[in-house]
Structures are given as C-alpha cells and as structure tokens.
Amino acid sequence: MAAEPMRLAQGGRIDRTRTIRFTFNGRSYTGCAGDTLASALLAHGERLTARSFKYHRPRGITGAGQEEPSSFVELLGDDQSGSQPITTVQLRDGLAARSVNCWPSPRFDLLALNQLFARMLPASFYYKTFMWPNWHVYEPHIRRAAGLSVAPDADRVVGTYETRHWHCDVLVAGAGPAGLMAALSAGRSGARVLLADDATEPGGSLLGRSAQIGGRAAIEWVSAAVAELGAMPHVTRLSQSTVWAYREANLVVVTERAPATPGIFQRTWRVRAKQVVIATGALERPLVFHDNDRPGVMLASAVQTYIHRYAVRPGRRAVVFTNNSSAYEVAADMRQAGIEVAAIVDARAAVPAQAAALVPGIEILAGHVVAATDGRRALRAVRVRPRAGGAPRRIECDLLAMSGGWNPVVHLFSQSRGTLRFDSGLSAFVADVAQQPCACAGAADGRLDLPGCLEDGANKGMDAARLAGFTGSAAAAPAASTGPAVDTLALWHVEPSGASDKAFVDLQHDVTVADIHLSLREGYGAVEHVKRYTTAGMGIDQGKTGNINVVGTIAMAQGLPPEGVGTTTFRSPYAPVDFGAMAGARSGPVVLPYRHTPITAWNIAQGAVMYEAGARWRRPGYYPHPGEALQDAVNRECSAVRESIGVYDGSPLGKIEIRGPDAARLLDLLYTNLFSNLETGMGRYGVMLSDDGLIFDDGVSFKLGEGHYLVSTSTANADEVYRHMEHLLQIERPEWRVRVTPVTAAWANATICGPQARAFMAALGTDIDLSNESLPFMGLRHGQVAGLPARVARVSFTGELSFEVNVRARDARALWERVMVAGAPLGMTPVGSEASHVLRVEKGFLSLGHEVDGTVDPIDLGLGWILSKQKPDYLGKRALEIRRGNPRPRRELVGLLMEDPARLVIEGAPITPHGARQAAEGFVSASVWSVANQRAIALGLLTNGRQRIGETVHVRMKEDVVRATVTAPCFYDPKGEKLRS
Amino acid sequence: MLLISCPHCGQRNESEFIHGGPARMRRPQDPSALADEAWVDYLTVPANPLGPIDEKWWHARGCGAWIVLRRDTMTHRFLPRSNDGS
C-alpha cells in the first residue's frame, strides 16, 4: 500500500498501530483506526473526491463533520447505504466507498459534459425548459445525468433497529466543553441526565484544537470529566448519537448509531426530558467568491481539525482568507504542522493586534479579499485584491483555509419553536425566546471563547437541574486558554466582477449568488421562496454552512438587514437518519397485524385462499379443490348453498352488546327504524345514518332481554360504530344510563345455509326447537349445539334458510370440526367470501363499499320503508330531508342484465348515455356470474334508475361498450320465501 | 407527539388517543325546530381558529374516555379550561 504522504509524524487522536484497508472508487488505500474516510484520503493527498450535483464541477472536501457540503459517497457491499457526507464515514476494515454523482470517477467524469450546458441550467431551469411535449420525457435522463446514489437493494443483515423510551430530568445535547460542564453541574445535583454527542469520542470542538483547560491539555480535562460522569449511575452518556428532533412537550429523539449491544444495529431513544440544554456548538461558514468550490478550498476550522484530530496536513502551501480573528489560530497551527502559510487575506480594514501577534512573520493583507481561484482539478492559486477594488495579485497555493464567521447551531432550539434574533456582533442568528423548557449553552448560545463556554455550560446545566427540582451549585469553571475576540465583519459574498461569476452559496446543489439574484428578479423574494426556487439549503447538508450566506445575499440585494429577511423553517431531522431507525421494531407484519378468527389455521389447512376482509380480518376467499380454478370453486360453493348445504364464518362481523335502562333509546337514535318495540328473542335489520343523512352502516340487531341488546355491524365498520356510540353517549347523551361493549372477538360463528339446513342442524345435534313456528326468521335462541353453549340466530345474507350458530371463541374450532363431520353425508361445503358475494348480489342485498359508498341514502337503495315515520328524530333524519328537498335527480339501485348473458362487466365501470365518452349517469357496483340464473348479472347505481326499469343502458368497458337492460335489483327469490321457510 | 392529560390516566402520549374534531354545541334535541340553513351549518361548519380551540380527544388505547381539551393550534400547548367551557 502507498504511504500516506500528508500524514503528520506525530499527534492526532488516531491509533497508528491499527492499519485499516479500504477502497475508494475502486482503488485501495490504507488508513488508521480513528480516521474518517475524508481524513484517510487527505492523508494520501487525494483531494478530488466528488463532482457537483448539477454542473459536475470537480469538488473536494470542505469540512470535517456533518456540515460537509461538497463530497458525498455511497457505501458498497455489506455496508451498502445511500449518500453520506464523506466526512462522517468512520473507517473500518474492508470499507468500500464510491463517489456519487460522477461516472466512472471524479477524476474522469463523463457526466461533466453538463458543464457545457451550464448556461441552460440555472436555478429552476426545469420550470422554463424541457417542457415540450411533456417534462416527463426528459426527467429520467436528467435524473440519470445528475447521478444520485442508488437505494440499497438488500435488506440489512447485521442487526436490528431498536427503539427505547426514556425519561430524564436534564437532556444535554452535545459533549463539548459547554455540554460536559452542563452535565457535570446537573449530574452533581443528583438530576437524572442523558448526555448525547454525535462524535466517536467526547470533547466536541476541543478534539480539533490545541486548547488548554486547568493548565493541561484540554483532552485530559475531557477524560477526567467523562470519568466523573461515568461514575454517576444516574447519568447516561451516549456517543455517536445525534439528537435530531425536538418535538412537542420536550420530546427529543436521539439515534445511537453504534450501540455497544451486540445484535443491535442502531438504537433510537425517544426521550421526554424535563429540561433540555442545547450545547451543540457553532459551525463555521464559508466565504463566497468566484470559483470558491475548487478542491483545496476548505473551512479553516476543518483544516485545524484535520491537523489536530487526524494528524493530516490538507495541503503544502496555504493561504488564509477570513473576516474574523478565529482563523489566525488556524494559521499558527498550520505553520506548526509544516504547512507554509503564504498570506492571510483579511477582509477587515484593521486587524486586531492580538490576532496578528499569533502569526509573526506571516504576511497579512488587511482590507483584501480573494476574488477568484485558479486550477482545474485542484487549487493552484488564488487571486487577491483590495476589497474596494483594484488589480488582483496571484498567490500560488494548494490550500485555501477560509473563515466567514460562526453560526451557533440553533437548529434544535428552533425546532422547539424557540424564536431567533440576529446578533450583529457575530453576524449570525442566535436563540432568543424559548417556547419549551430548554436553553442554549456555550457556542450554541453565541459564546465563542472557551472560558465563556465552560462557565455558560455550567450555569445552564445547573439552571436546568434547578428547574427540574434539584438543588446545588454550578460546577466551577476551570481556567482555560483563550484566543482573540472573534470580531466578525459581515461579508456575505465578495462583490462579483462579472455576471458569469460562479460564486457558490450552496455547494451541494450548485447554487450561486447569480442564482439568488435571478430568483429575486423573477419575483421570488421571500426567503422561503428563494430556498425553493434555487434549491439552496435543500440538500443533505440542509444548508448548515450556506444558509446564512443565502440570507445575507438576499439582504444585500434588497437593502434589508438580515433580520428583515429571516431564516427558513428549521425541520427535523438535523442529520440524515435511517428509515429503519425511525421504525425500530415497527416493520413488516408488526406494523399492521392481521386479525384472525379462531379457525384461520383450519381454513388454511383446507387450502383456502385467504383474503383481507375489512378492518384487517383474514377471511377465506374460496376453498379450491386441487387443480380447481377460482370461478369453478366459486360456482361449486354457490351451488352447494342454493341446492343443499354450506357453511361460512361470519365471525368478523361486528358485534356490540348494549345494556342499560336507556338501551332502547340509544338504538332508536342510531337506527332509522324503530327498535324499541322489538320483542325479546327477535332481531331486526336496521340502517344507521351519519348525521348528514347518508348510510353509515347496516346490520341485524337483536333484543336479548329487557334493556339488553346485541347490535351487529358490518365487518369493516365495527370499530367506527363503536366509536360512534361512545362519542354519542359520552359527549351528547352523558345522562343516559347505558353501557356498550364490543364483543366481536368474543363470539365466533358457523353460519349454516341452504335448503337442507334444518335437517343438518338435527344431525349436528341441538336442544333448540328450530321449527319455523318456534324460531321464525330473524329470531334468536339460546341452547346447546353440537354439545356447546350457543346462540342461534336466523339471519340470512345468502337468501337461503340459514342458522347462524354463535359460540364462545374458544369453542369455534370444535364447532367447525363437528359441523364438517356431521355434514359430510349431506355434502357440507365450506363457503368463502367470493361465493357469499355472488349469493348476496343475486338477492340484491347491499354491501358497504359496493352500493354504499358514502353518497347514498336508504331511499336511493329502495329502502325507503326503513325510515320510520313514527320517530320524531334519529341521526341523519333532518339532513336526509334537507338533501331530498333538492330536486336534482339521484342515483338509485337497479339490477343490470347484459344483452350477452355470458358477458361480465367490471365493478366500477361507468354507465354513460349511449356509451359515449361523457359524464357518467351511473356505475356498476357489483358484477358476478350467477349460478342460479346461469348468466352474468350485475347491480348498479343509475340516475333515476327505478323509473327506467326495462330501458337499455350502456356500460363503458375499457375495450368496448356493453348494452344491458335495467331490472329490479333482485335475481333470486324476490319474495324471500326461501329464507323464511 | 403531544403529551395529553387524561383526567383518569394522567399524562399520556398522543398515540394513545384519537382526535375527535372540534367541540361543538350540543346536538339540538329537536332538529326540526331549526331552519335548514342552521342545521346545515351545525353539521358542516366546524370551528377552525388560529389560536385556542376546544376539541375532543378519545382515549381509545387507554381508558376509553372522551375528553374535551383546549389546545392552541399554533403552539400546540394545552391551556386550562374550566368545566363550563370558559
């Protein structure tokens, strides 16, 4: 393996004894344990690591952490993942990574042809170009040319995602100097603390600098603080954990990306914290000038981090470009690391003496700016000129360390709905008024000096503990090294020399100052519009480095102060989060579990094809014999029911028991027909309307005794009807004395149907008198069936003589097995939902979801008789009257017999005048092959249908138009003699 | 994820509840006494303010109680509300 020419001989937080092998774009490299992919590549002197999104310009590494806007990679093989910033990929043995957005490599990118079309591709080009004939013709090619990474195609195999729910007194986000002090203060007071930090080791900004705390290296102080926190059992410290969402009532979400527990790939903590301390630090922002995107142009703090944390020199000869004093410490560090610092270009007219004192012997060009850079695939020189104007001077360099100032990371504070204000001293937005129990601390609150961070962190931590009910005093802040005051000059972008300047404000999405000016010229001046018009801030980095420059650029162009422009809304997640981490264990069938009846296993053993039948119930669709096609099985099951005997499982139908002195009043209010005059042991078919007068549900309800009723509902609506009842009783009629209990799953049934039903029941064995005189149609009796306690109801959805045998759920399997044994000599056939659908269509019985689609009332369906004239009020009565007061024609339920008796039309097919392609006058609601009639039949809703019986109408199918005759909606036993037999 | 105070169960996560829409005036005992427009308004015009609203929540995955709470639709904060609705 090649040596690492840019690796410093000493220093860094890496472990040089552990060599790691990895590949990048197919080439092999080595790195050290503790490296990121970025630091390892820089150690090898690899600077061209990416191509930009739109223009495919050569790009390198700009930052050192999550804020990285330039280089994104996808991981391959077992670690396969989508785009990630190159700076956050922890090096591990066998890692294989690939640059996204270029092919075949960043060095030689065929897709760079895009650059030739750059003038056609400004911001929002897709609103103005590539429009004819249809944007969708061009979109796939444009997407491919943009070369985004590919979604992983393999399920992750190396562990599960876990979710943990947690409560704590104080949650501290960030384990830098302020966060550690806050955790110490709160922890010492006895408060339960959760400290979460997104780096691989604590220390935050201290890891990338050579600061001193308490007279020793800051890293030693960090170790001591962490040891003290580790000894407190009420303090939990998480590393490689990003706090990515701040939601209502102090719910904060943290995802641990590398928990120590074997088998857990990532763990997401959903934390309710009494108080939150946001110690997330500050991010440096870049400066904006022509060609500011070349590989070798980096954030000054990133250069410093690569030197101190990773022992890497990102270049050999550097220029510093800054508008504040923090970069002077970086210049001094660079020189000490063996990087030649050719010049410091300071936009400020006067450089503070304290800053200049750090860099004796380095040329300082005060009042100057970098106006452009040179070099195609890497930086070779910068062009510097006085800020006010003048001839540029060329300085050769391969590294430009730029510092545009510092932005406190206020994202979580803003997500919590805290307001921001603009601090003109920092030229940045800082936290203003909190809306939830939280506070920013340290650099996140605008304190950029180390002593200030330590003190502020300690105080904010103690404040939080106190508010959470603990007593104590803030940890004493140790003395710490401090640099010159930052003293920032607002410099949102260097004045462009020409309209074609490519001065990037958003590196990830290739958004330039010119694009922002274009957006403003087009009238999109509000900051949220500029964001969406230019896509600035919409990438993976979410504009962590660039958004403030966007705001500043808008402000300059419009003559407003930055606070007059404002910021765009901060939204979670703060950093990319795996979907799996959000889902946790809620994936696959766990998310929406099926409901099963007690005989699901039996059904499957019989070879049933299982369907979902409303409200997540699994029901058999049909029971094919081996080799039998669907239609043949359905025909056979229908014949069995019409000619001899069949059995189906009606258990999923909703059942609700109603008890109390006001039970009858409740039914009378819910149903359109009268129920209070029902006799004990009898049932009645009822229709429920919603209060806007349209059909909500239907079912047969029984009186079991005084003040005791059993309501049955459709399968899909069981939960909705229960909710409807509880709402009515608790909100509208709290004074009524009645209780409702859903018992759908407590009872199972086997519904026996067919002309032989009575003979079969005798064979099955029962002590109930099932004669027509003793148990008439709609009756219900208690007793023993097949040796099991049962309720038997004479209800029929199929139109044949039918006994619904209800038993306790635990007896269902036994009942079914006894039914099949006793029924064998009679040819007992299990019947699925396909066949019962055919049978009910033959009878013209309604089914929710087919004829009842939320727009029909009972009169439309020919059920006008079910609307009680006696009752002064019931739910929906008033609205139904108002609606029918409108003379417009309504769609009514009819039957349809196709001219070609073998022709099946499809459900939902529209009926239009003469079959022409115009507005429908109705539609087909159900269409089946009728075994009893040996022809295709259908039901439909047709405008003025009942007046048009006998007419010919036209059903539009995909390929042709089918003629059909309108009939009454019943094709079998219209007088209902069979089910009353 | 709101934290909702159920009077029976204490503070529970929003996921235990089902939102039941804005609280309305009680359903009139005699709908026929109202003019058509008044009844249609009662059915179809819900309150939708920017600010405090009285609304119904059903503790479906808890005690099953329907409760009326006052929430600020902008800040999501729950506000005190006396039993008579003031």
Q: Summarize pLDDT for A258-310 with one digit per residue, the tens.
A: 999 999 989 999 999 999 999 999 999 999 999 999 999 999 999 999 999 99
Distance from CA of B36 to the nearest CA of A (A): 7
Task: Note whether residue B84 is domain-resident.
Answer: no
- Does B75 sit within 8 Å of A417, measured CB to CB? yes
At A50, is the secondary structure helix, strand, or coil?
Answer: strand
Task: Note whether residue B30 is domain-resident.
Answer: yes
- Rounded to 10°, the helix A527-534/A513-521 angle is 120
Number of domains in chain B: 1
| CB of A186 closer than 8 Å to CB of A466 | no
Calpha distance A905→A928 (Å, rounded): 8
- Does B31 sit within 8 Å of A873, measured CB to CB? yes
Whether pLDDT at A977 is above 80: yes
At A118, is the secondary structure helix, strand, or coil?
Answer: helix
Which candidate from B32, B44, B65 shows the least CB-CB separation from A878?
B32
Q: How far is CA A647 from the centre of its chain?
A: 44
Task: Note whether residue B56 is domain-resident.
Answer: yes
Name the percent of chain A in helix, strand, coil, to the closest 5: 25, 30, 45
- Does A248 sit within 8 Å of B40, measured CB to CB? no
Whether pLDDT at A367 is above 90: yes
Calpha distance A501→A511 (Å, rounded): 12
Query: Looking at the DSSP assignment, which residues form a beta bridge with residue A934?
Result: none
Please list, in sequence order, all residues whose beta carbon lies within 8 angstroms of the beta carbon of residue A627, skipping any fewer than 6 positions away: none
Structure tokens at A400: 């430009």
- Does B27 sit within 8 Å of A723, measured CB to CB? no
- Does B31 sit within 8 Å of A878, measured CB to CB? yes
Interface test with A, best of B4, B15, B43 (most A CBs within 10 A): B43
- The arithmetic mean of pLDDT across residues A58-69, rounded, is 95
Query: Looking at the DSSP assignment, which residues form a beta bridge with residue A51?
Result: A58
What does the pLDDT read at residue A1? 42
Calpha distance A15→A864 (Å, rounded): 84
- The arithmetic mean of pLDDT across residues B53-69, rounded, is 96
- Does A249 sit within 8 Å of B3, measured CB to CB? yes
Mean pLDDT, chain B, rounded, equals 92
Whether pLDDT at A103 is above 70: no
Q: How far is CA A86 from the centre of its chain?
A: 25
Interface test with B, best of A248, A250, A416, A720 (most B CBs within 10 A): A248
Distance from CA of A456 to the nearest CA of B (A): 28
Calpha distance A71→A51 (Å, rounded): 8
- Compare all CA atoms of chain A with the CA of B18 and give the residue at the minimum distance: A723
Q: Summarize pLDDT for A766-821 with one digit per residue, the tens.
A: 999 999 999 999 999 999 999 999 999 999 999 999 999 999 999 999 999 999 99
- Compare all CA atoms of chain B with the CA of A734 and give the residue at the minimum distance: B66
Q: How many CB atoms lie within 10 A of CB A567?
A: 21
| A18, A716, A723, B4, B56 from B19: Cα distances, Å | 56, 20, 11, 11, 6
Closest CA to A197 of A235, A241, A166: A241
Chain A positions in Cβ-Cβ contact with residue B76 (cut-off 8 Å)? 248
Chain B positions in Cβ-Cβ contact with residue A877 (cut-off 8 Å)? 31
| A672, A721, A779 from A697: Cα distances, Å | 11, 8, 21
- Does B44 sit within 8 Å of A692, measured CB to CB? yes
- Does B18 sit within 8 Å of A435, measured CB to CB? no
**C-alpha R_g of chain A:** 38
Distance from CA of B31 to the nearest CA of A (A): 6
Task: Note whether residue B13 is domain-resident.
Answer: yes
Whether pLDDT at B86 is above 80: no
Which candidate from B18, B43, B56 shows the least CB-CB separation from A879?
B43
Q: Which residues of B touch A (CB under 8 A)?
A: 1-3, 18, 20, 26-27, 29-32, 34, 36, 39-40, 43-44, 56, 58, 60, 64-66, 68, 75-76
Calpha distance B11→B14 (Å, rounded): 9
What does the pLDDT read at residue B62? 95
What single-letter DSSP state applies at residue A280? -
Task: Note whether residue B85 is domain-resident.
Answer: no
Closest CA to A49 of A68, A66, A76: A68
First to last CA, chain A: 92
- Does A872 sit within 8 Å of B60, measured CB to CB? no
Tally the C-alpha atoms within 13 A of residue A782's C-alpha that lie toward its C-beta: 8
Whether pLDDT at B12 is above 90: yes
Structure tokens at A455: 């003190």
Q: The domain spanning residue B59 has which CATH number?
A: 3.30.2270.10
- Does B31 sit within 8 Å of A723, measured CB to CB? no
Whether pLDDT at A46 is above 80: yes
- Does B27 sit within 8 Å of A877, measured CB to CB? no
What does the pLDDT read at residue A156? 62
Q: CA angle B43-B45-B49, nearest 5°? A: 140
What does the pLDDT read at residue A439? 98
Calpha distance A877→A692 (Å, rounded): 8
Q: CA angle A91-A93-A98, nearest 5°? A: 60
Look up the domain containing B32 and give its range.
3-79
Structure tokens at A59: 């790009």
Name the percent of chain B in helix, strand, coil, to the closest 5: 15, 35, 50
Mean pLDDT, chain A, rounded, equals 93
- Does A417 sit within 8 Å of B26, measured CB to CB? no
H helical segments located in B30-84: 36-44
Calpha distance A569→A250 (Å, rounded): 19
% of chain A exceeding 90 in pLDDT? 86
Calpha distance A242→A258 (Å, rounded): 11
Whether pLDDT at B32 is above 70: yes
Chain A positions in Cβ-Cβ contact with residue B75 (cut-off 8 Å)? 417, 435
| A451, A484, A889, A896 from A952: Cα distances, Å | 90, 92, 19, 9
Calpha distance A149→A99 (Å, rounded): 9
Calpha distance A181→A477 (Å, rounded): 8
- Does A885 sit within 8 Å of B3, measured CB to CB? no
Q: Summarize pLDDT for A144-165 with one digit per residue, the tens.
A: 665 566 777 766 667 889 999 9
Residue entry with tokens 């037999």: A981
- Does A727 sit within 8 Å of B3, measured CB to CB? no
Query: Looking at the DSSP assignment, which residues form a beta bridge with residue A696?
Result: none
Helix H or strand E segment including A580:
helix A579-583
Chain A positions in Cβ-Cβ contact with residue B20 (cut-off 8 Å)? 727
Q: Summarize pLDDT for A163-182 with one digit per residue, the tens.
A: 999 999 999 999 999 999 99
Please list, in sequence order, all residues whose beta carbon lies within 8 angstroms of the beta carbon of residue A261, skipping any fewer than 6 positions away: A162, A267
Report ipTM (2 d.p.).
Answer: 0.96
- Does B65 sit within 8 Å of A879, measured CB to CB? no
Q: Which residues of A touch B (CB under 8 A)?
A: 247-249, 251, 270, 272, 417, 435, 691-692, 723, 726-727, 730-732, 872-873, 877-879, 882, 885
- The arithmetic mean of pLDDT across residues A456-484, rounded, is 95
| CB of A203 closer than 8 Å to CB of A278 | no
% of chain B exceeding 90 in pLDDT? 79
Task: Note whether residue B86 is domain-resident.
Answer: no
Q: Summarize pLDDT for A184-237 with one digit per residue, the tens.
A: 999 999 999 999 999 999 999 999 999 999 999 999 999 999 999 999 999 999
Which candidate from A249, A272, A730 shows the least CB-CB separation from B66?
A730
Backbone angles phi, psi at A150, to 5 degrees: -100, 145
What does the pLDDT read at residue A221? 97
User: Across the A/B interface, how many CB contacts are shorter than 8 Å?
Assistant: 53
Distance from CA of B80 to the nearest CA of A (A): 16
Which candidate from A248, A732, A882 shows the least CB-CB separation from B2?
A248
Angular region, A534: left φ>0, alpha ψ -120 to 50, beta rest: alpha
Calpha distance A624→A643 (Å, rounded): 19
Task: Note whether residue B70 is domain-resident.
Answer: yes
Chain B positions in Cβ-Cβ contact with residue A885 (cut-off 8 Å)? 36
Chain A positions in Cβ-Cβ contact with residue B31 (cut-off 8 Å)? 873, 877-878
